[in-house]
Amino acid sequence: MLIRDGMTRPVVTVAPEMLLPGVASMLRDNRIHQLPVVDGEGVLVGIVTDRDVRDARAVDGFDNRSVQSIMTPNPVSVRETDTLEDALLLLHRRRFGALPVVDTKNRVVGIFARHDCLRVLVEVLGLEQPGSRIELHIDKADDDLCKAVGVLGKLEASLVSAVVTREHTGEGRRVYLRLQTIDPTPARKAMQRSGLRVIEPGD
């Protein structure tokens, strides 16, 4: 998945010359926490957060300073064709609140904020699609995954999502499958027959 599939657009931006009271009300009215600052061509020149504005007000009250005097110039940005992994890791490791998303000419085309991660996660897990969950514990990741997929293929079960993670305690992997059916029993039984360990709900 690419960032353009998960980002928020259109994005609200401000010009470098905008005065702080105007910036404050833009943040408030749009209920956002960051604003990319762009020049006349829409090229990214900085980013300003509600915190920057609050701090400026605390020091001087609201004066006639413009946003470019308090913005972070040349902020870290991502391209719309970068992968979601880029954005997720940047937000996670560098603790940014949001990343401006730019095109090849460095023009702002969107923003990828922390809450966009939640939407991506909900989508990836298929949580808003009707379905039933099957959970497996697998030891030999490759062989067992092949088996599980083979079972689904034979049943013509419609897969909503599949997630494989490390077991938090002990060896092996945990597999979460979401099937588009009210009746996961045939799939569950077929997996057990082919030697897979199906985790019962509540265990």
Partner 1 sequence: MRTGLVYDDRFLDHDTGPQHPERSDRLRAIVERLKRDHHWDRCLRLPVEPALVTSIQAVHDATYIEHVRATCEQGGAYVDVQDSAVCPVSFEVARLAVGGVIGAVDAVMAGLCDNAFCAVRPPGHHAERDRSMGFCLFNNVAVAAQHLISQHRLGKVAIVDFDVHHGNGTQHIFEARPDVLFISLHEHPSYLYPGTGFSWEAGQDRGEGFTINIPFDPHAGDEAYRHAFKHKVIPALDAFGPDFVLISAGFDAACDDPLAHMQLSTLGFAWMTRQLKELAERVCSGRLVSVLEGGYDLRSLAECVSAHVAVLLEEDGHDGLMGMKAGM
Taken in order 121, 126, 128, 132, is the CA torsion positive or negative? negative
Residues listed for the chain:
203
Judged by CB under 8 A, how many residues of this single chain contact partner 1?
19
Q: How far is the CB of 30 from partner 1 (least distance, A)?
A: 23
Contact with partner 1 (CB under 8 A) among 95, 169, 182, 193: 182
Beta bridge partners of 138: 173
| Residue 37 identity (one-letter amino acid) | V
The single residue listed with the structure tokens 């897969």 is: 159
Query: Cα(84)–Cα(118) distance, rounded to whole angstroms?
Result: 12
Residues 24-43 interacting with partner 1 (rule: CB under 8 A): none
Nearer to partner 1 (CB atom), residue 1 or residue 127: 127
Taken in order 66, 72, 75, 76, the sign of the CA dihedral is negative
- Shortest CA distance to 111 belongs to which of 65, 77, 68? 77
Looking at the Cβ atoms of 57 and 197, the one nearer to partner 1 is: 197
Query: Which range touches partner 1 (CB under 8 A), out of 4-12, 25-33, 45-53, 128-136?
Result: 128-136
Q: Choose the binding region for partner 1 from 63-71, 83-91, 110-118, 129-137 (rule: CB under 8 A).
A: 129-137
What sign does the CA torsion over 11, 15, 16, 21 have? Answer: negative
Would you state the structure tokens that stand for residue 26, as one six-digit string? Answer: 């833009």
- Considering only 127, 141, 146, 149, the residue that binds partner 1 (CB under 8 A) is 127
Residue selected from 69, 72, 74, 129 as contacting partner 1 according to rule CB under 8 A: 129
* 39 sits in which H/E element: none
Min dist CB 144 to partner 1, Å, is 22
Q: Which stretch binds partner 1 (CB under 8 A): 11-19, 30-38, 52-60, 195-203?
A: 195-203
Q: Does position 131 bind partner 1 by CB under 8 A?
A: yes
Residue 180 engages partner 1 in binding (rule: CB under 8 A):
yes
Nearer to partner 1, 25 or 129 (CB): 129
How many angstroms separate the Cα of 197 from the Cα of each of 109, 157, 180, 200? Answer: 46, 19, 21, 9
Binding status of residue 158 toward partner 1 by CB under 8 A: yes
For partner 1, the binding residues (CB under 8 A) are 127-133, 156, 158, 178, 180-185, 200-202
